[in-house]
Structure 1
Amino acid sequence: MCQSLYLKPLEWRCLNRDLQDPYLPKTYKQRIQIILLTDEGKTQSEICQLLGCSAMTARRWMLMTKQGKAEQWNNQPIGRPQKVNQDYLLRLEELLKHRPKEFGSKSEYWKAKSLAKQLKREFGVEISDRHINRLLKQRGLTLAEFNANLQGESTL
Protein backbone atom coordinates (compact mmCIF):
# COMPACT_ATOMS: atom_id res chain seq x y z
CA MET A 1 0.00 0.00 0.00
CA CYS A 2 1.38 3.41 -0.94
CA GLN A 3 0.65 6.63 0.97
CA SER A 4 -3.11 6.76 1.58
CA LEU A 5 -4.80 10.12 1.15
CA TYR A 6 -8.27 9.32 2.50
CA LEU A 7 -8.58 5.68 3.61
CA LYS A 8 -7.60 4.13 6.90
CA PRO A 9 -5.43 1.00 6.57
CA LEU A 10 -8.34 -1.28 7.57
CA GLU A 11 -10.66 0.36 5.02
CA TRP A 12 -8.03 -0.07 2.32
CA ARG A 13 -7.54 -3.78 3.16
CA CYS A 14 -11.30 -4.43 3.26
CA LEU A 15 -11.88 -2.72 -0.08
CA ASN A 16 -9.07 -4.71 -1.70
CA ARG A 17 -10.50 -7.92 -0.24
CA ASP A 18 -14.01 -7.07 -1.48
CA LEU A 19 -12.59 -6.33 -4.92
CA GLN A 20 -11.42 -9.96 -5.17
CA ASP A 21 -14.95 -11.38 -4.70
CA PRO A 22 -15.80 -13.25 -7.94
CA TYR A 23 -19.55 -12.72 -7.37
CA LEU A 24 -19.28 -8.96 -6.87
CA PRO A 25 -21.23 -7.15 -9.62
CA LYS A 26 -19.16 -5.18 -12.11
CA THR A 27 -20.69 -1.86 -11.00
CA TYR A 28 -19.66 -2.45 -7.38
CA LYS A 29 -16.14 -3.38 -8.50
CA GLN A 30 -15.98 -0.13 -10.41
CA ARG A 31 -17.03 1.84 -7.31
CA ILE A 32 -14.25 0.23 -5.27
CA GLN A 33 -11.71 0.88 -8.02
CA ILE A 34 -12.73 4.56 -8.14
CA ILE A 35 -12.36 4.81 -4.36
CA LEU A 36 -8.92 3.17 -4.42
CA LEU A 37 -7.70 5.29 -7.33
CA THR A 38 -8.98 8.44 -5.61
CA ASP A 39 -7.07 7.39 -2.53
CA GLU A 40 -3.93 7.14 -4.67
CA GLY A 41 -4.46 10.74 -5.82
CA LYS A 42 -5.67 10.06 -9.37
CA THR A 43 -7.72 12.78 -11.03
CA GLN A 44 -11.27 12.36 -12.30
CA SER A 45 -10.15 12.31 -15.93
CA GLU A 46 -7.43 9.72 -15.17
CA ILE A 47 -9.98 7.49 -13.40
CA CYS A 48 -12.49 7.83 -16.25
CA GLN A 49 -9.81 6.94 -18.77
CA LEU A 50 -8.52 3.96 -16.75
CA LEU A 51 -11.95 2.47 -15.96
CA GLY A 52 -14.04 3.68 -18.87
CA CYS A 53 -16.63 5.11 -16.48
CA SER A 54 -18.64 8.29 -16.79
CA ALA A 55 -17.44 11.54 -15.25
CA MET A 56 -20.56 11.63 -13.08
CA THR A 57 -19.85 8.16 -11.64
CA ALA A 58 -16.22 9.01 -10.95
CA ARG A 59 -17.15 12.36 -9.41
CA ARG A 60 -19.75 10.78 -7.12
CA TRP A 61 -17.45 8.11 -5.68
CA MET A 62 -14.47 10.44 -5.51
CA LEU A 63 -16.58 12.80 -3.39
CA MET A 64 -17.74 9.93 -1.16
CA THR A 65 -14.10 8.95 -0.64
CA LYS A 66 -12.98 12.49 0.16
CA GLN A 67 -15.88 12.88 2.63
CA GLY A 68 -14.80 9.73 4.49
CA LYS A 69 -17.80 7.72 3.29
CA ALA A 70 -15.93 5.09 1.25
CA GLU A 71 -17.48 2.29 3.33
CA GLN A 72 -20.85 3.18 1.80
CA TRP A 73 -19.90 1.82 -1.62
CA ASN A 74 -22.41 -1.03 -1.27
CA ASN A 75 -25.17 0.83 0.62
CA GLN A 76 -26.66 2.18 -2.58
CA PRO A 77 -28.07 -0.70 -4.61
CA ILE A 78 -27.58 -0.79 -8.34
CA GLY A 79 -30.42 -1.25 -10.79
CA ARG A 80 -33.73 -2.82 -10.02
CA PRO A 81 -34.18 -4.48 -6.60
CA GLN A 82 -33.15 -8.12 -6.77
CA LYS A 83 -35.76 -10.82 -6.56
CA VAL A 84 -33.16 -13.48 -5.81
CA ASN A 85 -31.41 -13.54 -2.43
CA GLN A 86 -28.75 -15.79 -0.90
CA ASP A 87 -31.35 -18.27 0.44
CA TYR A 88 -32.78 -18.60 -3.06
CA LEU A 89 -29.34 -19.34 -4.52
CA LEU A 90 -28.53 -21.89 -1.82
CA ARG A 91 -31.87 -23.63 -2.42
CA LEU A 92 -31.21 -23.67 -6.18
CA GLU A 93 -27.94 -25.51 -5.58
CA GLU A 94 -29.61 -27.84 -3.07
CA LEU A 95 -32.37 -28.78 -5.54
CA LEU A 96 -29.75 -29.87 -8.04
CA LYS A 97 -28.59 -32.58 -5.63
CA HIS A 98 -32.00 -34.27 -5.92
CA ARG A 99 -34.09 -35.65 -8.72
CA PRO A 100 -37.03 -33.55 -9.92
CA LYS A 101 -39.34 -36.53 -9.28
CA GLU A 102 -38.77 -36.05 -5.55
CA PHE A 103 -40.65 -32.77 -5.93
CA GLY A 104 -43.55 -34.10 -7.99
CA SER A 105 -42.12 -33.52 -11.44
CA LYS A 106 -42.58 -36.09 -14.21
CA SER A 107 -39.08 -35.43 -15.54
CA GLU A 108 -36.09 -37.52 -14.56
CA TYR A 109 -33.67 -34.61 -14.97
CA TRP A 110 -33.73 -30.93 -14.14
CA LYS A 111 -34.47 -28.29 -16.74
CA ALA A 112 -34.23 -24.57 -16.07
CA LYS A 113 -38.01 -24.27 -16.46
CA SER A 114 -38.73 -26.95 -13.86
CA LEU A 115 -36.23 -25.38 -11.43
CA ALA A 116 -37.91 -21.99 -11.89
CA LYS A 117 -41.32 -23.59 -11.21
CA GLN A 118 -40.11 -25.34 -8.06
CA LEU A 119 -38.43 -22.23 -6.72
CA LYS A 120 -41.59 -20.20 -7.43
CA ARG A 121 -43.57 -22.70 -5.34
CA GLU A 122 -41.09 -22.39 -2.48
CA PHE A 123 -40.23 -18.68 -2.57
CA GLY A 124 -43.11 -17.10 -4.49
CA VAL A 125 -40.55 -15.47 -6.78
CA GLU A 126 -41.05 -15.91 -10.50
CA ILE A 127 -37.99 -15.71 -12.72
CA SER A 128 -37.38 -16.95 -16.24
CA ASP A 129 -35.61 -20.16 -17.14
CA ARG A 130 -32.99 -17.98 -18.89
CA HIS A 131 -32.32 -16.26 -15.59
CA ILE A 132 -31.96 -19.64 -13.86
CA ASN A 133 -29.26 -20.50 -16.40
CA ARG A 134 -27.56 -17.12 -15.79
CA LEU A 135 -27.57 -17.71 -12.02
CA LEU A 136 -26.04 -21.16 -12.49
CA LYS A 137 -23.40 -19.79 -14.85
CA GLN A 138 -22.49 -17.02 -12.37
CA ARG A 139 -21.83 -19.72 -9.80
CA GLY A 140 -19.79 -21.82 -12.26
CA LEU A 141 -22.49 -24.49 -12.56
CA THR A 142 -24.41 -26.07 -15.43
CA LEU A 143 -27.54 -28.20 -15.59
CA ALA A 144 -25.75 -30.63 -17.90
CA GLU A 145 -23.17 -31.28 -15.20
CA PHE A 146 -25.78 -32.03 -12.52
CA ASN A 147 -27.97 -34.10 -14.82
CA ALA A 148 -24.92 -36.15 -15.85
CA ASN A 149 -24.23 -36.82 -12.17
CA LEU A 150 -27.83 -37.90 -11.65
CA GLN A 151 -27.58 -40.15 -14.72
CA GLY A 152 -24.40 -41.70 -13.33
CA GLU A 153 -26.19 -42.48 -10.05
CA SER A 154 -28.97 -44.32 -11.84
CA THR A 155 -26.53 -46.66 -13.59
CA LEU A 156 -24.96 -47.80 -10.30
Structure 2
Amino acid sequence: MPVAITRLDLSAADLRAQACRVGDVAQARRMLAIALVIEGASRTHAAEAGGMTRQTLRDWVHRYNAEGVAGLTDRPRSGRPPRLKEAHLEKLDALVEAGPDIAEHGVVRWRRVDLQAVIAKDFKVELSERHVGRILHQRGFTRLSARPRHPKTDEGARRRVQKNFADRVAAALPASVRGKRIEVWFQDEARVGQKGTLTRLWARRGSRPRAVRDTRYQSAYIFGAVCPARGVGAALVMPRADTEAMTKHLAEISRHVAEDAHAVVVLDGAGWHGSDDLVVPENTTLIELPPYSPELNPAENIWEYLRKNKLANCLYDTYEDIVDACCAAWNALIADPARITSIASRDWANLS
Protein backbone atom coordinates (compact mmCIF):
# COMPACT_ATOMS: atom_id res chain seq x y z
CA MET A 1 0.00 0.00 0.00
CA PRO A 2 1.51 3.36 -1.00
CA VAL A 3 2.68 5.68 1.77
CA ALA A 4 1.09 9.15 1.78
CA ILE A 5 3.30 12.23 1.77
CA THR A 6 2.53 13.88 5.10
CA ARG A 7 5.18 16.58 4.95
CA LEU A 8 3.61 19.70 3.46
CA ASP A 9 6.24 22.43 4.09
CA LEU A 10 7.39 22.30 0.44
CA SER A 11 5.22 22.29 -2.66
CA ALA A 12 6.03 20.41 -5.85
CA ALA A 13 7.31 23.67 -7.35
CA ASP A 14 9.53 24.25 -4.29
CA LEU A 15 11.00 20.76 -4.61
CA ARG A 16 11.75 21.29 -8.28
CA ALA A 17 13.44 24.61 -7.54
CA GLN A 18 15.60 23.05 -4.86
CA ALA A 19 16.45 20.09 -7.13
CA CYS A 20 18.00 22.57 -9.57
CA ARG A 21 20.33 23.88 -6.87
CA VAL A 22 21.56 20.75 -5.11
CA GLY A 23 24.86 19.26 -6.21
CA ASP A 24 23.82 15.65 -5.59
CA VAL A 25 22.26 14.23 -8.77
CA ALA A 26 20.69 11.26 -6.95
CA GLN A 27 19.10 13.54 -4.37
CA ALA A 28 17.72 15.81 -7.12
CA ARG A 29 16.22 12.80 -8.92
CA ARG A 30 14.43 11.69 -5.72
CA MET A 31 13.11 15.21 -5.13
CA LEU A 32 11.64 15.31 -8.64
CA ALA A 33 9.99 11.92 -8.14
CA ILE A 34 8.34 13.10 -4.91
CA ALA A 35 7.27 16.32 -6.65
CA LEU A 36 5.42 14.19 -9.21
CA VAL A 37 3.66 12.30 -6.41
CA ILE A 38 2.59 15.57 -4.77
CA GLU A 39 1.14 16.70 -8.11
CA GLY A 40 -0.97 13.54 -8.29
CA ALA A 41 1.07 11.41 -10.72
CA SER A 42 0.85 7.66 -10.27
CA ARG A 43 3.48 5.99 -8.12
CA THR A 44 4.52 3.87 -11.11
CA HIS A 45 5.08 6.94 -13.29
CA ALA A 46 6.92 8.83 -10.52
CA ALA A 47 9.16 5.85 -9.79
CA GLU A 48 10.03 5.35 -13.47
CA ALA A 49 10.75 9.07 -13.89
CA GLY A 50 13.11 8.90 -10.91
CA GLY A 51 14.85 5.76 -12.17
CA MET A 52 13.71 3.53 -9.31
CA THR A 53 11.15 0.89 -8.37
CA ARG A 54 7.86 1.58 -6.59
CA GLN A 55 9.24 -0.04 -3.42
CA THR A 56 12.34 2.16 -3.52
CA LEU A 57 10.15 5.25 -4.00
CA ARG A 58 8.09 4.13 -0.98
CA ASP A 59 11.25 3.96 1.13
CA TRP A 60 12.31 7.47 0.04
CA VAL A 61 8.86 8.84 0.85
CA HIS A 62 9.29 7.44 4.40
CA ARG A 63 12.63 9.23 4.65
CA TYR A 64 11.20 12.46 3.23
CA ASN A 65 8.29 12.46 5.70
CA ALA A 66 10.71 12.00 8.60
CA GLU A 67 13.65 14.19 7.61
CA GLY A 68 12.63 16.40 4.72
CA VAL A 69 14.92 17.11 1.77
CA ALA A 70 17.99 16.25 3.85
CA GLY A 71 16.71 12.68 4.18
CA LEU A 72 16.93 12.14 0.41
CA THR A 73 20.74 11.93 0.41
CA ASP A 74 22.69 8.68 0.50
CA ARG A 75 23.92 7.81 3.96
CA PRO A 76 27.53 6.67 4.40
CA ARG A 77 27.94 2.94 4.16
CA SER A 78 30.30 1.34 6.62
CA GLY A 79 31.24 -1.50 4.27
CA ARG A 80 33.68 -4.19 5.19
CA PRO A 81 36.53 -3.17 7.51
CA PRO A 82 39.87 -2.80 5.69
CA ARG A 83 42.07 -5.88 5.64
CA LEU A 84 45.17 -3.83 6.51
CA LYS A 85 45.21 -1.69 9.64
CA GLU A 86 46.66 1.81 9.62
CA ALA A 87 49.87 0.55 11.25
CA HIS A 88 50.22 -1.98 8.42
CA LEU A 89 49.67 0.71 5.80
CA GLU A 90 52.31 2.98 7.33
CA LYS A 91 54.83 0.12 7.26
CA LEU A 92 53.86 -0.60 3.66
CA ASP A 93 54.45 3.07 2.75
CA ALA A 94 57.92 2.95 4.25
CA LEU A 95 58.68 -0.35 2.53
CA VAL A 96 57.67 0.95 -0.92
CA GLU A 97 59.57 4.22 -0.51
CA ALA A 98 62.74 2.46 0.67
CA GLY A 99 62.61 -0.09 -2.14
CA PRO A 100 63.50 -3.78 -1.93
CA ASP A 101 66.75 -5.27 -0.67
CA ILE A 102 67.86 -7.78 -3.28
CA ALA A 103 69.57 -9.93 -0.65
CA GLU A 104 66.36 -10.16 1.39
CA HIS A 105 63.60 -9.88 -1.19
CA GLY A 106 65.33 -11.19 -4.32
CA VAL A 107 64.20 -8.32 -6.59
CA VAL A 108 65.53 -4.88 -7.51
CA ARG A 109 62.11 -3.20 -7.86
CA TRP A 110 58.74 -3.82 -6.29
CA ARG A 111 56.02 -5.52 -8.27
CA ARG A 112 52.53 -6.10 -6.94
CA VAL A 113 53.22 -9.82 -6.63
CA ASP A 114 56.34 -9.11 -4.53
CA LEU A 115 54.44 -6.82 -2.16
CA GLN A 116 51.65 -9.39 -2.04
CA ALA A 117 54.15 -11.94 -0.70
CA VAL A 118 55.63 -9.47 1.81
CA ILE A 119 52.16 -8.54 3.11
CA ALA A 120 51.26 -12.19 3.53
CA LYS A 121 54.53 -12.94 5.33
CA ASP A 122 54.83 -9.85 7.57
CA PHE A 123 51.19 -8.89 8.15
CA LYS A 124 49.58 -12.35 7.84
CA VAL A 125 46.99 -10.94 5.40
CA GLU A 126 46.24 -12.58 2.06
CA LEU A 127 45.44 -10.08 -0.72
CA SER A 128 45.10 -10.39 -4.49
CA GLU A 129 47.56 -8.59 -6.77
CA ARG A 130 44.79 -6.28 -7.93
CA HIS A 131 43.93 -5.40 -4.32
CA VAL A 132 47.60 -4.60 -3.65
CA GLY A 133 47.63 -2.30 -6.68
CA ARG A 134 44.47 -0.56 -5.50
CA ILE A 135 45.99 0.04 -2.06
CA LEU A 136 49.16 1.49 -3.62
CA HIS A 137 47.12 3.96 -5.70
CA GLN A 138 45.06 4.92 -2.64
CA ARG A 139 48.29 5.60 -0.74
CA GLY A 140 49.51 7.94 -3.48
CA PHE A 141 51.93 5.62 -5.29
CA THR A 142 52.22 5.15 -9.03
CA ARG A 143 54.79 3.64 -11.40
CA LEU A 144 57.46 6.19 -12.35
CA SER A 145 60.74 6.00 -14.23
CA ALA A 146 63.68 6.35 -11.85
CA ARG A 147 66.27 8.99 -12.64
CA PRO A 148 69.94 8.04 -12.26
CA ARG A 149 71.75 9.04 -9.06
CA HIS A 150 75.53 9.12 -8.94
CA PRO A 151 76.98 7.07 -6.06
CA LYS A 152 79.03 10.13 -5.00
CA THR A 153 75.96 12.36 -4.62
CA ASP A 154 76.13 14.37 -1.40
CA GLU A 155 72.56 14.44 -0.09
CA GLY A 156 73.54 16.86 2.67
CA ALA A 157 74.89 19.38 0.14
CA ARG A 158 71.73 19.06 -1.93
CA ARG A 159 69.56 19.80 1.11
CA ARG A 160 71.74 22.75 2.10
CA VAL A 161 71.30 24.31 -1.35
CA GLN A 162 67.54 24.06 -1.08
CA LYS A 163 67.45 25.35 2.50
CA ASN A 164 70.00 28.17 2.20
CA PHE A 165 69.60 29.24 -1.43
CA ALA A 166 68.63 32.84 -0.60
CA ASP A 167 71.64 33.25 1.72
CA ARG A 168 73.96 31.78 -0.91
CA VAL A 169 72.66 34.18 -3.54
CA ALA A 170 73.06 37.14 -1.18
CA ALA A 171 76.67 36.17 -0.47
CA ALA A 172 77.51 35.79 -4.17
CA LEU A 173 76.03 39.09 -5.38
CA PRO A 174 78.45 41.99 -5.83
CA ALA A 175 77.85 45.03 -3.66
CA SER A 176 76.97 47.13 -6.70
CA VAL A 177 73.72 45.21 -7.30
CA ARG A 178 72.46 45.04 -3.73
CA GLY A 179 68.86 46.22 -3.64
CA LYS A 180 68.23 45.40 -7.29
CA ARG A 181 65.50 42.99 -8.36
CA ILE A 182 66.97 39.51 -8.78
CA GLU A 183 65.96 37.08 -11.53
CA VAL A 184 66.78 33.40 -11.04
CA TRP A 185 67.77 31.60 -14.25
CA PHE A 186 68.55 27.90 -14.64
CA GLN A 187 71.11 26.97 -17.32
CA ASP A 188 72.25 23.71 -18.88
CA GLU A 189 73.25 22.09 -22.18
CA ALA A 190 71.64 19.23 -24.06
CA ARG A 191 73.22 17.20 -26.84
CA VAL A 192 70.87 16.49 -29.75
CA GLY A 193 72.01 14.32 -32.61
CA GLN A 194 71.45 11.65 -35.17
CA LYS A 195 71.72 8.90 -32.55
CA GLY A 196 68.55 10.34 -31.10
CA THR A 197 66.25 9.10 -28.36
CA LEU A 198 63.04 7.09 -28.26
CA THR A 199 59.96 7.90 -26.21
CA ARG A 200 56.79 6.15 -25.14
CA LEU A 201 54.00 5.62 -27.69
CA TRP A 202 50.35 4.59 -27.56
CA ALA A 203 50.13 1.08 -28.96
CA ARG A 204 48.09 -2.09 -28.71
CA ARG A 205 48.51 -3.93 -25.43
CA GLY A 206 50.99 -6.77 -25.83
CA SER A 207 52.65 -5.26 -28.92
CA ARG A 208 56.14 -3.76 -29.20
CA PRO A 209 55.87 -0.59 -31.32
CA ARG A 210 58.84 0.38 -33.49
CA ALA A 211 60.24 3.89 -34.01
CA VAL A 212 63.03 5.15 -36.25
CA ARG A 213 66.47 5.58 -34.66
CA ASP A 214 69.62 6.53 -36.54
CA THR A 215 73.05 4.95 -36.00
CA ARG A 216 75.12 7.98 -37.04
CA TYR A 217 76.74 10.33 -34.55
CA GLN A 218 76.58 13.91 -35.86
CA SER A 219 75.16 16.23 -33.19
CA ALA A 220 74.71 19.75 -31.88
CA TYR A 221 74.28 21.27 -28.43
CA ILE A 222 71.40 23.41 -27.18
CA PHE A 223 72.71 25.90 -24.63
CA GLY A 224 69.48 26.80 -22.85
CA ALA A 225 68.42 28.83 -19.84
CA VAL A 226 65.00 29.70 -18.42
CA CYS A 227 63.65 32.17 -15.90
CA PRO A 228 60.53 30.47 -14.49
CA ALA A 229 59.30 33.58 -12.67
CA ARG A 230 58.96 35.45 -15.97
CA GLY A 231 58.31 32.44 -18.19
CA VAL A 232 61.12 33.39 -20.57
CA GLY A 233 64.24 31.69 -21.86
CA ALA A 234 67.41 32.23 -23.87
CA ALA A 235 69.20 29.64 -25.99
CA LEU A 236 71.84 29.10 -28.65
CA VAL A 237 72.46 26.00 -30.76
CA MET A 238 76.21 25.39 -30.93
CA PRO A 239 78.41 22.74 -32.61
CA ARG A 240 80.48 22.19 -29.44
CA ALA A 241 80.18 22.58 -25.69
CA ASP A 242 83.16 24.70 -24.62
CA THR A 243 84.10 28.00 -23.02
CA GLU A 244 83.59 30.02 -26.19
CA ALA A 245 80.06 28.66 -26.61
CA MET A 246 79.30 29.29 -22.92
CA THR A 247 80.52 32.89 -23.19
CA LYS A 248 78.17 33.49 -26.10
CA HIS A 249 75.31 31.90 -24.22
CA LEU A 250 75.86 34.08 -21.14
CA ALA A 251 75.76 37.11 -23.44
CA GLU A 252 72.44 35.83 -24.84
CA ILE A 253 71.03 35.36 -21.32
CA SER A 254 72.23 38.86 -20.40
CA ARG A 255 70.33 40.27 -23.36
CA HIS A 256 67.07 38.76 -22.05
CA VAL A 257 67.42 39.94 -18.45
CA ALA A 258 65.03 42.77 -17.56
CA GLU A 259 66.68 46.22 -17.58
CA ASP A 260 66.00 46.85 -13.89
CA ALA A 261 67.14 43.38 -12.75
CA HIS A 262 70.25 41.32 -12.12
CA ALA A 263 70.36 37.65 -13.14
CA VAL A 264 71.51 34.81 -10.91
CA VAL A 265 72.32 31.92 -13.27
CA VAL A 266 72.22 28.53 -11.55
CA LEU A 267 74.30 25.89 -13.34
CA ASP A 268 76.30 22.71 -12.80
CA GLY A 269 80.08 22.40 -12.44
CA ALA A 270 80.99 21.61 -16.05
CA GLY A 271 84.52 22.70 -16.94
CA TRP A 272 83.44 25.41 -19.36
CA HIS A 273 81.17 26.91 -16.68
CA GLY A 274 84.10 27.84 -14.47
CA SER A 275 86.90 28.45 -16.92
CA ASP A 276 89.22 31.41 -16.30
CA ASP A 277 88.58 32.48 -19.90
CA LEU A 278 84.81 32.62 -19.41
CA VAL A 279 83.37 36.13 -19.83
CA VAL A 280 80.48 36.81 -17.42
CA PRO A 281 78.31 39.87 -18.23
CA GLU A 282 77.95 42.62 -15.62
CA ASN A 283 74.26 41.93 -15.06
CA THR A 284 74.87 38.24 -14.35
CA THR A 285 76.15 36.24 -11.37
CA LEU A 286 76.84 32.50 -11.56
CA ILE A 287 75.78 30.09 -8.80
CA GLU A 288 77.28 26.61 -9.07
CA LEU A 289 75.34 23.57 -7.89
CA PRO A 290 76.95 20.74 -5.89
CA PRO A 291 78.48 17.96 -8.02
CA TYR A 292 76.37 14.95 -9.04
CA SER A 293 73.06 16.70 -8.32
CA PRO A 294 71.25 17.23 -11.66
CA GLU A 295 67.88 16.96 -9.88
CA LEU A 296 68.50 20.46 -8.48
CA ASN A 297 68.53 21.97 -11.97
CA PRO A 298 65.04 22.36 -13.52
CA ALA A 299 66.69 22.78 -16.92
CA GLU A 300 67.05 18.99 -16.85
CA ASN A 301 63.25 18.78 -16.82
CA ILE A 302 63.11 21.20 -19.75
CA TRP A 303 65.30 18.83 -21.76
CA GLU A 304 63.14 15.88 -20.75
CA TYR A 305 60.02 17.68 -21.98
CA LEU A 306 61.63 18.67 -25.29
CA ARG A 307 63.05 15.21 -25.94
CA LYS A 308 59.77 13.45 -25.25
CA ASN A 309 57.57 15.86 -27.17
CA LYS A 310 59.71 17.51 -29.86
CA LEU A 311 63.01 15.70 -30.47
CA ALA A 312 62.43 11.95 -30.04
CA ASN A 313 61.71 9.38 -32.77
CA CYS A 314 63.25 11.64 -35.44
CA LEU A 315 65.75 11.10 -38.25
CA TYR A 316 68.19 13.90 -39.11
CA ASP A 317 70.07 13.59 -42.40
CA THR A 318 72.40 16.57 -41.94
CA TYR A 319 73.79 18.84 -39.24
CA GLU A 320 71.52 21.60 -40.53
CA ASP A 321 68.51 19.36 -39.93
CA ILE A 322 69.62 18.91 -36.32
CA VAL A 323 70.00 22.66 -35.84
CA ASP A 324 66.58 23.32 -37.38
CA ALA A 325 64.94 20.72 -35.11
CA CYS A 326 66.62 22.22 -32.02
CA CYS A 327 65.52 25.74 -32.94
CA ALA A 328 61.95 24.63 -33.66
CA ALA A 329 61.74 22.75 -30.35
CA TRP A 330 63.08 25.68 -28.31
CA ASN A 331 60.89 28.24 -30.08
CA ALA A 332 57.83 26.09 -29.36
CA LEU A 333 58.79 26.10 -25.67
CA ILE A 334 59.38 29.87 -25.58
CA ALA A 335 55.96 30.43 -27.16
CA ASP A 336 54.38 28.83 -24.07
CA PRO A 337 55.54 30.85 -21.01
CA ALA A 338 53.10 29.07 -18.69
CA ARG A 339 54.74 25.74 -19.50
CA ILE A 340 58.19 27.12 -18.65
CA THR A 341 56.88 28.33 -15.31
CA SER A 342 55.12 25.03 -14.65
CA ILE A 343 58.16 22.87 -15.45
CA ALA A 344 60.96 24.96 -13.95
CA SER A 345 59.49 26.65 -10.85
CA ARG A 346 61.00 25.55 -7.53
CA ASP A 347 59.82 26.82 -4.15
CA TRP A 348 63.33 26.72 -2.70
CA ALA A 349 64.58 29.06 -5.45
CA ASN A 350 61.90 31.71 -4.90
CA LEU A 351 63.61 34.87 -3.65
CA SER A 352 60.49 37.06 -3.40
> Which structure shows the bigger proportion of residues in strand conformation?
2
